[in-house]
Amino acid sequence: MTQLNKSKFESTLKVRPDDIDMNQHVHSSKYIDYVLSARYDHMERCYKMPIT
């Protein structure tokens, strides 16, 4: 059985008050924006490949 090497990457993002609804939830479309933002940050910082 082969074992996969796993890496953990972290990016810090600020959540704006207008990203959260009255039930204190972030809408799924806004969450996708967070994921994409973290991806862009990661590619630029770790691989020196800015996505612009």
Domain carrying residue 40: 27-52
Residue 18 lies in a domain: no
Whole-prediction pTM: 0.66
**pLDDT above 80 (res 3):** no
- Number of domains within the chain: 1
pLDDT digits (tens, 9 = 90+) for 5-40: 777 778 888 889 999 989 999 988 898 999 999 889
Residue 14 lies in a domain: no
Residue 51 lies in a domain: yes
**pLDDT above 80 (res 4):** no
Residue 22 lies in a domain: no
Residue 17 lies in a domain: no
pLDDT at 13: 85
Kindly give the residue spans of alpha helices, DSSP state H, lying in the chain.
28-47
pLDDT at 50: 81
